[in-house]
Amino acid sequence: MALADTFTRTLTGPVRTAPASYGAAPTIDGPGMAALVAWVDEIAALTQPARIHWIDGSRGENEALLREMVDEGKLIKLNPEWRPGSYLARSHPSDVARTEGRTFIASENEEDAGPTNNWVAPAEIRGTLNGLFEGSMRGRTMYVVPFSMGAVGGPLSHIGVQVTDSAYAVASIGIMTRVGEDVVREIANGAPWVKTVHSVGAPLEAGQADVAWPCNDEKYIVHYPDTLEVWSYGSGYGGNAILAKKCFALRIASVIGRDEGWLAEHMLLIRVISPEGKAFHVAAAFPSACGKTNLAMLRPTIPGWRVETLGDDIAWLRPGDDGRLWAINPEAGFFGVAPGTGESTNVTAVETLWGNTIFTNVALRPDGDVWWEGLTDEAPAQLTDWEGNDWTPASGRPAAHPNSRFTVAAAQCPQIAPDWDTPEGVPLDAILFGGRRATNVPLVVEATDWAHGVFLGSTISSERTAAAEGTVGELRRDPFAMLPFCGYNMADYFGHWISVGQKLRFDRAPRIFQVNWFRKGTDGRFLWPGFGDNARVIDWIIRRIEGGVPAIDSPIGRLPRLTDLNLDGIEVPEADLEELFAIDSSSWLTEADLTEEFYNTFGDRIPSTLRAELSSLRYRLNHAPQA
């Protein structure tokens, strides 16, 4: 094998005996194969791993990998009696979330990255990265992981290859995407693919002992939108390491979508089935840790309604020939927030996690099962916390890290749609935008039309969460929940949303709504029960789509008449309901000023349609009577 030869030639680290398959590319012929092998050779020459392992995606391979990680102390096997086939990983305490400050867009032109992204000049950063990646895999195995986002060969699907020195990343990608030799076959047959390179940046010198969670204090998550590449260095956690997810399926895919006329979005995807048996498809964009997984697994508390899960984090949307907007979930698993996931909030997730799950940074029970805040109302008396220390309820600190997560196959979800991985996707009826807003934003507002909906999406702000480094609770702009994930100039992205709308038939385009489950009373408590009761908002949305109920025009959009909300079986005090929908003109005029300030950071790149929407909003706030 040419590859094995190159591999031996460039080897500088220690060599350990390894299975014969290690280092050998699969014997698949086709015109695209040489370029793949050459690229892998090139990365190996740079990073100098001790071994190369082409991942075939088989069950046996996965089991061997997990066993190896347990032997090396990188995973803790959970008690199979409670949690079969499941593991706990504890990250380094400095490597617990996406590092947005170390995430870069290396487009040729700085303007193309825009003011919301960290831009670096590609030539310059390539030099820096070459220095860091040189020898970065010494003493480690370099895994080559071919993966597909969307069903292999599907019309909306895209493929990629991740090279990584993290077995944890390999196991995670195996759950989150479709990995296997059928992807290599696609590449061999000439399909285009995205190159992603990942190193934890912790080479092992001869005789040096490994640690449970290798990583590096210096981190770089770099995207090259012009050449469709991702290079990630120094972190083993989540979106920093599973490059198929935020790096590829959002940042790189958003650029591909801009060029090809579709949208890559930070959205969950569900099918809602009405008591009459009619199916509706809803996508919703909420910022990180703002309720996507929960809504994706909704168990309606109103009788007769059913929800089938299609996706919980990413959706790719494409206008169809029929004038509708079609959506797929490109992923194959859930990388979900653990804290707050419990029987009373998201029982579907709890059931999904029965086994075959990798947990990261949750607490360990003495009986070998896991626990996190919110799993049960009462904490166990004794735990080992996410850092491996003894913990009791008196410890005064969380037992699980606030951004602790579970990684589990979508197919394991008890309410997964039977056709969740259909290659052509589902036609959307509604799009929801939301965020965490203690004040101002009502429970639900309907956009008057597509342009107003795009305006609503562009103005989303949300209180920061633990999903990324930063101060939790601080309000920040997060348009379309894409602030950290848009791979190009966000003003152009807003324009792209408008142009996608123009490709839809006006009577078949999804209707757009803004929602907020997180409004608080002056006493600091949530005004809305949320979770399963969010079905009551979905019920109103669907009745709007069906033309079943009138709405109230307000300066910020269409609001429900309170009598149209189905509140049977819950007690929401009248005063709370009023407050949930209260619109304070002066606060909204301040929001409008902040929106203008935000728009101005893009100069004249902001589409004139959105400037016009902002003027109309101000006009309505100044002239309409208080709602």
Q: Scan residues 458-487 and list those touching ligand SPV (CB under 6 A).
A: 467
- Compute the 3-state secondary structure of the chain and give helix, strand, coil in percent, each to the nearest 5: 30, 20, 45
Sheet holding 430-434, edge to edge: 306-311, 267-273, 279-285, 430-434, 511-515, 444-446, 557-559, 552-554
Q: How far is the CB of 307 from Mn ion (least distance, A)?
A: 19
39 binds, among ligand SPV, ligand GTP, Mn ion, none (CB under 5 to 8 A by kind): none
339 binds, among ligand SPV, Mn ion, ligand GTP, none (CB under 5 to 8 A by kind): ligand GTP
How long a stretch of residues is the chain?
627
Q: Does 165 contact Mn ion by CB under 5 A?
A: no
Site residue total, ligand SPV (CB under 6 A): 9
**Beta carbon nearer to ligand GTP, 345 or 439:** 345
| C-beta separation of 319 from 503 below 8 A | yes
Helix/strand/coil (H/E/C) assignment for every residue in 552-565: EEECCEEECCHHHC
**Segment lying near ligand SPV (by CB under 6 A), choices 74-82, 156-164, 238-246, 406-414:** 238-246
**Beta carbon nearer to ligand GTP, 267 or 610:** 267
Structure token digits, residue 597? 């300030």
Q: Does 544 contact ligand SPV by CB under 6 A?
A: no
Q: Quick one: which of 288, 329, 516, 554 contacts ligand SPV (CB under 6 A)?
A: 288
Q: How far is the CB of 289 from ligand GTP (least distance, A)?
A: 4
Catalytic residue among 247, 290, 413, 486: 290
Three-state DSSP at 219 gives coil
DSSP output for 465-516: -TTBSS-TT-EEE-GGG-TTT--S-HHHHHHHHHHHHHTS-TTTSPEEEEE-
Q: Quick one: which of 100, 186, 229, 313 contacts Mn ion (CB under 5 A)?
A: 313
CA distance 371 to 338: 9
**Segment lying near ligand SPV (by CB under 6 A), choices 99-107, 109-117, 237-245, 561-569:** 237-245
Q: Quick one: which of 174, 238, 291, 442 contacts ligand SPV (CB under 6 A)?
A: 238
**Beta carbon nearer to Mn ion, 288 or 346:** 288
Q: Quick one: which of 224, 391, 531, 602 contacts ligand GTP (CB under 6 A)?
A: 531
Q: Is 503 exposed, middle or buried (0-12, 13-18, 19+ CB in 10 A)?
A: middle
Question: Is residue 247 among the annotated active site residues?
Answer: no
**Segment lying near ligand SPV (by CB under 6 A), choices 158-166, 191-199, 239-247, 297-305:** 239-247
CA distance 74 to 202: 14
| C-beta separation of 312 from 384 below 8 A | no
Within 8 A by CB and 6+ apart from 492, the residues are 112, 114, 258, 605
State residue 330 phi and psi, 5-degree precision: -75, -10
CA distance 565 to 426: 27
Could you list the beta-strand ranges (E) of 59-117. 76-77, 87-89, 103-105
Q: How far is the CB of 609 from ligand SPV (least distance, A)?
A: 28
Q: Quick one: which of 6, 196, 199, 288 contacts ligand GTP (CB under 6 A)?
A: 288
336 binds, among Mn ion, ligand GTP, ligand SPV, none (CB under 5 to 8 A by kind): ligand GTP
Three-state DSSP at 113 gives helix
Q: How far is the CB of 314 from ligand SPV (least distance, A)?
A: 8
CA distance 139 to 132: 16
Structure token digits, residue 416? 């997964």
Q: Does 246 contact ligand SPV by CB under 6 A?
A: yes
Q: Does 293 contact ligand GTP by CB under 6 A?
A: yes
386 binds, among ligand SPV, ligand GTP, Mn ion, none (CB under 5 to 8 A by kind): none
**Segment lying near ligand GTP (by CB under 6 A), choices 41-49, 178-186, 286-294, 416-424:** 286-294
Q: Does 313 contact ligand SPV by CB under 6 A?
A: yes
| C-beta separation of 360 from 91 below 8 A | yes
**Beta carbon nearer to ligand SPV, 485 or 581:** 485
Q: Does 517 contact ligand GTP by CB under 6 A?
A: yes
- Give the interface with ligand GTP as residue ranges (CB under 6 A): 286, 288-294, 312-313, 336-337, 339-340, 345, 467, 517-518, 526, 530-531, 534
Catalytic residues: 290
- Give the interface with ligand SPV as residue ranges (CB under 6 A): 98, 238-239, 245-246, 288, 313, 335, 467
